[in-house]
């Protein structure tokens, strides 16, 4: 994307837009939180629910139908979203009995004491390589909807969260268009289902991931929703954008308009900003995470609702990602650093999901960010402190098994054989593997056994390979 920056323009909206649309009146903003469970150090569900209350969340979304969590949420007046796992969608699509059984086991025992309001079928299905599941998604949603009707649970809306990669064009926003590979076969049936059942198009939208590839042309403050900093004007429509989130959402609205469903309601299923990450990951910090999430909550709770330039004064219900930093999430370091809370339940930074706390009322100073510019220098990948030795040995074998003489220097008699320790050999193997395979997708993670360092671990004639940024 290339973003033109224009300063000092005034965003004018006709006064007639102050009238609320019927769809806006049907749902309150009530920002909520995504309660992920990919951690081996997370509090008990009862404690977690108390923490969710302390954050003043109006909603919570879980990624399954965990009965312990659903029981803990009973009689709390917190709206709940649960999820059918990706793995059973293809089996459920032709099988009404399977859908009935899933609803009977995972919804009926908890409703209405637990205020289940949304049942999401799968998670980011169109981002997965399994295209068989793509084409079974909407049929499975129809099965689930039929089951809810059968059990007289018509208040529960059915949806599915997609990522922004469901679009093949998004810039300028007016060019928004769904991927041609799924537009006719998946998206249009999905939009038809949403229209018929008065549900929502659930979308995971992260300005962070849109900003990272192009931090020069996309200003950081524009991605963080900072006010009065920079703007972008769509050259086709003349619509003025004051932050990247509105720009991304309008690209989706334009895509739905192009598909023939211009009045479909959006629900922000995930948004957030990482509070930490790897050395080679720009902009992931406690400061930026606090600024983004505070701004986005303020944005979603404005009265009257602000909407977007294309859809002014439309309510945007939302879930912030995520409740905790989750140490068992795989991938880059940012994946384990999206939490509002540490696993011990303490706040990473002050936050109020109700939006009732003014930004000026957050008093605790935020640490100054140090990685808003790309890191310049060498990085090594070494074994993490306290890594399980059995798992470390397996990861060492994997790294050395990839060829390209990755581990020749740590063989007996090699320059890096000594000290003859598992941790030393694994650290060399991890650095060597990452240096060779980073550009083709290799990561410094190894199931949590590795970590990046800017301190050269080389000793004497043993020179560790590095990645240079």
Residues serving a catalytic function are 124, 270
Cα–Cα dist 323/62, whole Å: 10
Q: Which long-range contacts (C-beta less than 8 Å, at least 24 apart) are formed by 401-407?
A: 402/433, 402/436, 402/437, 404/436, 406/432, 406/433, 406/436, 407/432
- DSSP string of 46-107, one letter each residue: HHHHHHHHHTT-SEEEESS--HHHHHHTTTS--EEEEEE-GGGHHHHTT-HHHHHHHHHHHT
Q: DSSP string of 176-217?
A: -EE-TTTIIIIIHHHHHHHHHHT--EEEE--HHHHHTT-TTT
Beta bridge partners of 80: 60, 116
Distances (CA, A) of 77 to 1, 52, 74, 109, 172: 42, 12, 8, 17, 40
Any long-range contacts for 74-79 (C-beta under 8 Å, 24+ apart)? Answer: 74/110, 74/113, 74/114, 75/113, 76/49, 76/114, 76/115, 77/115, 78/32, 78/49, 78/52, 78/53, 78/115, 79/30, 79/32, 79/115, 79/117, 79/118
Joined tokens for residue 438: 């980073």
Q: How far apart are CA 458 and CA 435, in angstroms?
A: 14
Residues near 125 by beta carbon (within 8 Å), at least 6 away in sequence: 86, 89, 133, 134, 137, 160, 162
């Amino acid at each position: 994307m290339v973003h033109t920056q224009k300063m000092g323009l005034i965003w004018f909206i006709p006064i007639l837009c102050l009238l609320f649309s019927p769809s806006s009146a049907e749902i309150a903003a009530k920002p909520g939180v995504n309660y992920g469970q990919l951690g081996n150090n997370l509090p008990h569900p009862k404690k977690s629910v108390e923490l969710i209350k302390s954050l003043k969340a109006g909603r919570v979304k879980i990624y399954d139908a965990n009965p312990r969590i659903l029981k803990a949420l009973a009689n709390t007046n917190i709206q709940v979203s649960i999820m059918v796992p990706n793995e059973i969608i293809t089996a459920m699509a032709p099988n009404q009995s399977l859908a009935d059984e899933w609803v009977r086991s995972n919804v009926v025992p908890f409703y209405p004491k637990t205020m289940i309001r949304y049942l999401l079928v799968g998670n980011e299905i169109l981002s997965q390589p399994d295209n068989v599941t793509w084409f079974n998604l909407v049929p499975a949603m129809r099965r689930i909807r039929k089951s809810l009707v059968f059990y007289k649970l018509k208040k529960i809306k059915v949806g599915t969260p997609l990522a922004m990669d469901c679009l093949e064009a998004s810039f300028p926003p007016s060019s928004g268009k769904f991927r041609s590979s799924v537009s006719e076969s998946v998206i249009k049936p999905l939009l038809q289902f949403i229209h018929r059942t008065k549900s929502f198009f659930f979308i995971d939208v992260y300005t962070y991931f849109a900003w990272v590839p192009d931090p020069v042309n996309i200003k950081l403050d524009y991605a963080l929703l900072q006010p009065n900093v920079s703007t972008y004007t769509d050259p086709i429509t003349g619509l003025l954008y004051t932050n990247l989130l509105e720009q991304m959402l309008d690209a989706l609205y334009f895509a739905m308009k192009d598909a023939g469903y211009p009045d479909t309601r959006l629900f922000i299923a995930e948004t957030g900003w990482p509070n930490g990450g790897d050395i080679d990951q720009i902009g992931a910090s406690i400061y930026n995470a606090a600024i983004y999430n505070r701004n986005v909550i303020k944005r979603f709770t404005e009265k009257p609702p602000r909407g977007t330039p294309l859809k002014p004064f439309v309510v945007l219900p939302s879930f912030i990602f995520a409740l905790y930093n989750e140490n068992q999430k795989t991938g880059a370091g940012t994946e384990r650093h999206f939490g509002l809370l540490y696993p011990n339940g303490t706040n990473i930074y002050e936050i109020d999901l109700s939006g009732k706390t003014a930004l000026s009322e957050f008093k605790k100073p935020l640490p100054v960010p140090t990685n808003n510019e790309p890191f310049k220098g060498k990085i090594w990948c070494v074994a993490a402190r306290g890594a399980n030795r059995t798992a470390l040995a397996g990861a060492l074998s994997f790294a050395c098994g990839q060829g390209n003489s990755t581990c020749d220097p740590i063989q007996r008699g090699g320059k890096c054989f000594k000290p003859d320790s598992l941790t030393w050999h694994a650290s060399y193997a991890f650095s060597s593997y990452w240096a060779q395979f980073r550009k083709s997708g290799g990561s410094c993670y190894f199931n949590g056994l590795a970590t990046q360092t800017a301190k050269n671990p080389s000793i004497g004639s043993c020179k560790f390979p590095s990645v240079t940024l």
